[in-house]
Amino acid sequence: MADKCNNLNTHVMPAIVFKRKEINYTDQGEGDTIVLLHGFTEDLRIWKQFSSKLSANYRVVCIDLPGHGQSGCLATTHPMDLLAVAVSKVITHLKVKKCLLIGHSMGGYVALAFAEKYPRMLRGFGLFHSHCYADSAEDKKNRLRTIEIVKRDRFSFLSMFIPGLFPEEVRTKFRKEIEFLQLCTADLTREGIIATLKGMRERKDMSGLLKSTKLPVLFILGLKDSKAPVSRLWEMISLPAVSESLILRECGHMGYIEAPDVTLKAIKNFAARVF
């Protein structure tokens, strides 16, 4: 099964070097560019089906964020700004002038940081089961508790964390997908996990960015998402001047697995409008 995980990396390009560490990415297709960013504990392999289908009409770039997949850990803390810079280095290296940037979960936090730092490099961006708010005081405490758990036994943490991304009632249905995601975390280092947890804990509220941006924004949200502040999602989607929303009533945090057809269609339709 571990080999199966590794074999998901198609169209891998030579890694670029940023801060003396390699940043891994894939580059597939031609035309206007869509960049896909994975979430916490994931890597670019989650986008295999999406990139395969989107690349029929677009150039699709998927990036292993630092500390994940085959990309190196850059520091003891990975602020979202730093991850956004790493993404910019890949995009610049590929000579992409403008792109549509879609981020799942933590990848959405990075997309927000990127939109703040490099708005001229974007045609639009999307938050895929992600949000613009900073950690609450309780969230910050939980991040610290999680860091202590990871220090003791990262494998136990990962074995519990990944099933929790799905609503309890569908975990049996997606048992194979959950096992697959767990197996594909085998290369995650303790240092990479902790650096990312610290970076997410320190991230700032980005609701002001959503309110001020002139870029179109796509929201894909699940009403059963235990990792998102569901009570504030309606507030969030009203912030941008131009936005589109896909609200999945029966979906949790993993729409690319739980509802792949409808979420892929939302990205395709959004891309057709921004390019």
* 117-120 own/partner pairs: CB under 8 Å, 24+ apart: 117/81, 117/84, 117/85, 117/88, 118/84, 118/88, 119/213, 119/214, 119/215
- Model pLDDT for residues 163-175, shown as the tens digit of each residue: 999 999 999 999 9
**Cβ(61)–Cβ(90) under 8 Å?**
yes
Question: How much of the chain, in percent, has pLDDT values that exceed 90?
Answer: 91
Lowest-confidence pick of 11-15, 47-51, 148-152, 261-265? 11-15
**Cβ(5)–Cβ(186) under 8 Å?**
yes
pLDDT at 7 (0 to 100): 45
Distances in whole angstroms, Cα of residue 22 to Cα of each of 6, 40, 83, 113, 265: 17, 18, 13, 21, 32
Q: Check pLDDT > 90 for residue 3.
A: no
Q: What is the pTM of this model?
A: 0.95
Q: In which band, very low, low, confident or very high, does the pLDDT at 229 lie, cut at 50, 70 and 90?
A: confident
pLDDT at 187 (0 to 100): 85
CATH architecture classification, 2-274: 3-Layer(aba) Sandwich (3.40)
- The mean pLDDT of 207-227, rounded to a whole number, is 97
Q: Check pLDDT > 50 for residue 1.
A: no
Distances in whole angstroms, Cα of residue 84 to Cα of each of 110, 112, 116: 6, 9, 10
Q: In which band, very low, low, confident or very high, does the pLDDT at 12 lie, cut at 50, 70 and 90?
A: low
- Model pLDDT for residues 117-164, shown as the tens digit of each residue: 999 999 999 999 999 999 999 999 999 999 999 999 999 999 999 999
pLDDT at 14 (0 to 100): 82
**Cβ(55)–Cβ(24) under 8 Å?**
no
